[in-house]
Amino acid sequence: MLDELKAIVDFAYDNIPIYRKLYQRKPELNSIADFKNLPYLRISDFVTCNIEEVISDVDEVATVLPPIENKTIFPFPRLESTYDRDMRYEIFYYLIEQTGIKKGSSFVVLTDSSHSYFCGEIVNNLLFYKYPTSMIFVRDHTVDEIQEWVSKLKPDCLLIGIDKIIEFSHWEIPYIFTINQFGKSEIIKHFDIYAISEIGWIAIRTSEGHYLYPDDYFYVETDPADDILVLTTLANDLQPFIRYKTSDRAKLLNGNRFQITYIGEH
C-alpha cells in the first residue's frame, strides 16, 4: 500500500497545483505513518483554486460527473479522464457484485429532477454491465402512481433516487437500492450506495449492515478528532483526492468495511 500511496502523492505533487499549494514541498513518504502526517485536503482548499489548478491535465478531461443532487457544496464538478471513468465503472461493478444479485437482473431507477443526471450515470453503468434498466422520472406523482408505473415494469431491483419519502416495503420487489440512506434498514434486501459528488460511488451497505468498499481503489481513514471519514482515491489520474476530509462520519471496521454514523451536507 505504501508504494501506491507514494506514487499517487508524487504524481499529484508533480502535476496538480492544489497539492503543491497544500504541501509546499514534495513529501517524502517512507512509511504509512508519514502518509498519515500529510495535511488533510479540505473543501476550503478547492474554494480558492481555479479549475485548472485542481486537475492534472485539461486536455484529458473526458467526463463531467453530475453531482448527486444537481447541487453540491464542493466548488467543482467531478472531472474524469477516460481512465478515471473506466475505474469508476469498475468500482460500480464491485459494488453490484457485493449484493449477490443475479447477472441480468432487471432494474427500475426512480429519479426526480434533482437526482436525474447522477441516476442517469447509474443507469448507464447498469446497462453497460447488461442489467436491463429503465428510469422513471418522478414529478408530482402520488405514491400509488409511482407504484403503478413500477409494477408495469416488474423489476427485480428498484433503485430509489428521489427526495420523496415513500414506503416501499410492501411493493414486493426483491431488492431495493438507495443512495446515502445510511439509517439501519428493516428490509433485508436493502442495499445503500454511499457516494459523494466529488468522488462518485464509494461503498455499498449489504445486508450485514456495514459498508463495503473496494480497497484497490480507496484508502480509507477517519480523523481521530471528529470521526470524519477521510478518503484517498488510488485509481484516479486526473483529479486524485489525497486524505480528503469528507462531510461524513464513520467508524472503521475490520477489513474493507466501515459504518457510517452521519452524512453531512454534500
DSSP state of 41: B
Using CB under 8 A as the binding rule, whether residue 113 contacts another protein is answered as yes
Choices 123-131, 188-196, 207-215, 254-262 (CB under 8 A): range interacting with another protein? 123-131
Q: Closest separation between CB of residue 107 and another protein, Å? A: 9
Query: For residues 2 and 64, which CB has a smaller minimum distance to another protein in the complex?
Result: 64
Stretch that binds another protein, among 138-146, 157-165, 170-178, 183-191 (CB under 8 A): 138-146
User: CA neighbours within 13 Å on the CB side: how many for 16?
Assistant: 24
Q: CA-to-CA distance for 51 and 265, rounded, in angstroms? A: 22
* Alpha-carbon distances, residue 228 vs 71, 167, 265 (angstroms): 22, 30, 13
Residue pair 207/192 in contact by the 8 Å Cβ criterion: no
Region binding another protein by CB under 8 A among candidate stretches 2-10, 146-154, 197-205, 208-216: 146-154
Q: Identify the burial level of 237 via C-beta atoms within 10 angstroms of its C-beta, where 0-12 means exposed, 13-18 middle and 19 or more buried.
A: buried
Task: Pick the closer one to another protein by CB: 23 or 149.
Answer: 149
What are 244's three cell numbers?
480528503
Please report whether residue 72 would count as binding another protein according to CB under 8 A: no
Q: Does 140 bind another protein (CB under 8 A)?
A: yes
d(CA 56, CA 65): 17
For another protein, the binding residues (CB under 8 A) are: 50-52, 58-59, 61-64, 66, 75-77, 82, 113, 116-117, 120-121, 123-124, 126-128, 130, 132-137, 139-141, 149, 152-154
